[in-house]
Amino acid sequence: MANDVQDQAIAGLAEQRLVSDPATIREAGWLFDAWGRLDQMIEGGRLPHGLLLHGRLGAPMTALLETLARRLICHAPEQGWPCGHCPACRQAEQGSFPDIQRLADDPEHRDIPVDAIRGLIEGAFLTRYGRMRLVLVERIERLNRASGNALLKLLEEPPESMQFLCTVEQVDRLLPTIRSRLQRLRLREPRPEEQARWWRQTTGCSPEQAELLAFIDDPTLVDGHEPTFDWQAVTEAWVTLAEGRGSPLAPLAPWLATPRPVLARWLLRLWPAVARHQAGLSAEGLPAGLEPSVKRLAAAHGTEQWLAVQTRLIRFAREAGHPLHPELSVEQLALDLVDPRLPRRLDSAV
């Protein structure tokens, strides 16, 4: 595995966040379907002033959001796509277009803090540069009561020509007052091979890496109001296992309480953070509270052993949807991670 590709994708997604190459939308079926409907709305002057894109979140959805924003500010769209070379497109590309305000997804904050909305409101009433001011809110279900109420005021009485573009995955978590102010466009669920193709085209990685990137690109794992699983207990269990404290089967309780695909994604997201630490780099893209666990995992393994851990995690991820042996496969994972260089008991069974 080329760990740098994986690191780049998981740790920051910073560059990926700004991807808005129309080619990546055209080639990704589930994004292209949504694009067609958005284009019809724009052409017919029916784009709602509060748009909610509802679907699987991650780098592809961010690419759709950014491309849509550029389509709206572009001086001369070409057949419905942002031209990519007018002053507005170029400034947006550099992240410096003054009429776009973003509340990007941020793993450091489980909620959108009310201060972020206050900043947004201050900016909203400044003089416009172009014909429209855009407010982009990613994973809007992260609003808490205070920030939700603050945003609601702006949604109810927006300045002239303000356009809201928001994304959501867990729409039932969104405050009803906010939800009722937004018009929802539902994206269909992407097929795994469509996601993998998207990753291959945007990063140039191998088919195997693309499959992995599609699998672990899931920002909802560290979630807003309540965690969807006990990631602290899951992580702590791994540290306990790695440090050789207690029985090798000690992690089974929190791990078995977590759906296997979620467990696999979470452990695979921790992996590059530990690898970065071993390489003397800072851990990026994970909640700050995880740093002590990342350090202990790094200290408990040699680099060679850590590489073997990744192979075992990928194997577990591939088996995560397998209907057979759920307990056995988690048990095997625990044994694998104690010494990833030993042969696997389950290899003949799966």
Cα–Cα distance, 3 to 307 (Å, whole number): 10
* Least separation in angstroms between CB 70 and Zn ion: 7
Q: Which is nearer to Zn ion, 128 or 295 (CB)?
A: 128
DSSP E strands, the chain = 50-54, 100-103, 133-137, 162-168, 183-186
For residues 141, 147, 152 and 153, what is the CA-based torsion angle, rounded to 10 degrees?
Answer: -170
Interacting residue ranges for Zn ion, rule: CB under 5 A: 74, 82-83, 86, 89
Secondary structure letter of residue 157 according to DSSP: S
* Least separation in angstroms between CB 92 and Zn ion: 8
Cα–Cα distance, 64 to 140 (Å, whole number): 16
Beta bridge partners of 307: none
* Least separation in angstroms between CB 97 and Zn ion: 11
* Least separation in angstroms between CB 76 and Zn ion: 6
Q: Which is nearer to Zn ion, 72 or 168 (CB)?
A: 72
Cα–Cα distance, 115 to 123 (Å, whole number): 12
Secondary structure letter of residue 288 according to DSSP: G
Q: Which is nearer to Zn ion, 1 or 83 (CB)?
A: 83
On whether the CB atoms of residues 71 and 60 are closer than 8 A, the answer is no
Q: Which is nearer to Zn ion, 128 or 344 (CB)?
A: 128
* Least separation in angstroms between CB 107 and Zn ion: 31
Q: Which is nearer to Zn ion, 52 or 88 (CB)?
A: 88
On whether the CB atoms of residues 161 and 132 are closer than 8 A, the answer is yes
Cα R_g (the chain), whole angstroms: 22
* Least separation in angstroms between CB 164 and Zn ion: 21
Residue 348 burial (C-beta neighbours within 10 Å; 0-12, 13-18, 19+) = exposed
Cα–Cα distance, 168 to 62 (Å, whole number): 11
Cα–Cα distance, 214 to 70 (Å, whole number): 25
* Least separation in angstroms between CB 78 and Zn ion: 8
Q: Which is nearer to Zn ion, 89 or 298 (CB)?
A: 89
Q: Which is nearer to Zn ion, 84 or 287 (CB)?
A: 84
